[in-house]
């Protein structure tokens, strides 16, 4: 009788194990179909650590990448994303999805990176200059960083450029304690001002922030206006959105949920604007103004952007991914000034004096 009971228990256990394995296979299949490529950490590892925030963040950035790529591809059916997976010998890797020379998008890139290793001295210096007290062990600071980042440059000058980035950082100090923080944001760079689009974009981001705390949108809107400032031109890169960095309170879970709301707001804040204008007619003069504004975009990214600088200072980083944010085409003209009271002068006014779009 005891042996029969043992046999029955073994049979049930085997069946349970087989069911669990087939359920895991189904989950894996579903995830593989949902993503643009297999996750950097591997599905098995992510499942093993599924309760850890690092795994949940990696799944979120993978889902965001796929969601945005599919929404863009649906608007530009003749074009397709090239998907590159890359590895970093110091630890980790990434997935770069880039669409070039489509009908609607001149260049659209959506990158995921999950990297780990030791922080370079320059990168650590950059962080300390922002007020981080990092205590290294024998000069070494193990770190883990992951994020999704995207820049979309449309062909039509009446469709704005859009950028977003959401990231998570973890550093282990000499005594084993871990410092962690989140950063990110979403911002819009139109060539011409359309008030209705500006209001829609900002309202959608405000709604995402308001779910968590009514103080967040005004705080992060101002941070965005201050951050994307081209000092040598005295103007902002665009009409802003939200931007934040080094956020490590009230709790890891609460900040993660906030970042998740922001990531989910990317498609609804931007795609309706693209749909609305991608077939607008435009003149050669309007195209020229778009090229000049793109030049300003490049200036900001190469001179001031902290993410670009951090990437260039990180050993083993992939330069192609870091410079993916640059447009396919841009222009710099000597002493170009638009005529007073023109549409071109109107956007410059807003770039010099940011507006409150939602009140």
Token output for 231: 């000092």
Determine the Cα–Cα distance for residues 104 and 334; give it in Å rounded to an integer.
Answer: 29
**Biggest alpha carbon–alpha carbon distance for the chain:** 97
Nearest to 294 by CA among 343, 331, 346, 337: 331
200 catalytic? Reply is no
One-character DSSP codes across 90-141: TSEEEEEEEEES-SSEEEEEEEEEEEEEE--HHHHHHHHTTT-----BTTB-
Is residue 154 within 8 A of residue 160, CB to CB? The reply is yes
One-character DSSP codes across 272-306: HHHHHHTT----HHHHHHHHHHHHHHHHHHHHT-H
Question: Out of 163, 200, 202, 277, which one is annotated catalytic?
Answer: 163
Q: Alpha helix locations (H) across the chain? A: 2-34, 43-48, 53-75, 121-128, 195-210, 216-227, 252-264, 266-277, 284-303, 306-313, 319-322, 343-352
Token output for 213: 């705390």
Determine the Cα–Cα distance for residues 194 and 188; give it in Å rounded to an integer.
Answer: 12
Known catalytic residues? 163
């Amino acid at each position: 009788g005891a042996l029969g009971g043992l046999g029955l228990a073994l049979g049930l256990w085997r069946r349970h194990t087989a069911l669990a394995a087939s359920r895991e296979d189904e989950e894996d299949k579903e995830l593989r179909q949902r993503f643009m490529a297999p996750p950097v950490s591997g599905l098995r590892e992510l499942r093993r650590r599924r309760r850890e925030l690092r795994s949940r963040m990696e799944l979120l950035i993978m889902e965001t990448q796929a969601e945005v790529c599919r929404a863009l591809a649906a608007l530009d059916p003749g074009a397709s994303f090239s998907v590159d997976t890359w590895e970093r010998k110091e630890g980790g890797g990434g997935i770069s999805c880039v669409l070039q020379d489509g009908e609607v998008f001149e260049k659209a890139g959506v990158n995921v990176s999950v990297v780990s290793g030791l922080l370079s001295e320059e990168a650590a210096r950059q962080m300390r200059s922002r007020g981080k007290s990092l205590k290294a062990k024998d000069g070494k600071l193990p770190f883990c960083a992951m994020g999704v980042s995207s820049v979309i440059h449309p062909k039509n000058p009446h469709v704005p450029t859009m950028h977003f980035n959401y990231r998570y950082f973890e550093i282990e100090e000499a005594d084993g304690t871990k410092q962690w923080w989140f950063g990110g944001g979403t911002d819009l760079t139109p060539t011409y001002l359309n008030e209705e689009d500006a209001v829609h974009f900002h309202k959608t981001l405000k709604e995402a922030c308001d779910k968590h705390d009514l103080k967040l949108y005004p705080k992060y809107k101002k941070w965005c206006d201050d951050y994307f400032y081209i000092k040598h031109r005295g103007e902002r890169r665009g009409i802003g959105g939200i931007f934040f960095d080094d956020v490590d309170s009230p709790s890891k879970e609460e900040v993660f949920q906030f970042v998740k709301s922001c990531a989910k707001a990317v498609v609804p804040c931007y795609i309706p604007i693209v749909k609305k204008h991608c077939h607008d007619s435009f003149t050669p003069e309007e195209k020229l103004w778009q090229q000049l504004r793109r030049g300003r975009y490049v200036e900001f990214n190469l001179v001031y952007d902290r993410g670009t600088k951090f990437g260039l200072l990180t050993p083993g980083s992939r330069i192609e991914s870091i410079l993916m944010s640059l447009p396919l085409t841009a222009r710099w003209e000597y002493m170009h000034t638009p005529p007073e009271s023109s549409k071109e002068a109107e956007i410059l006014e807003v770039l010099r004096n940011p507006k409150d779009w939602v009140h």
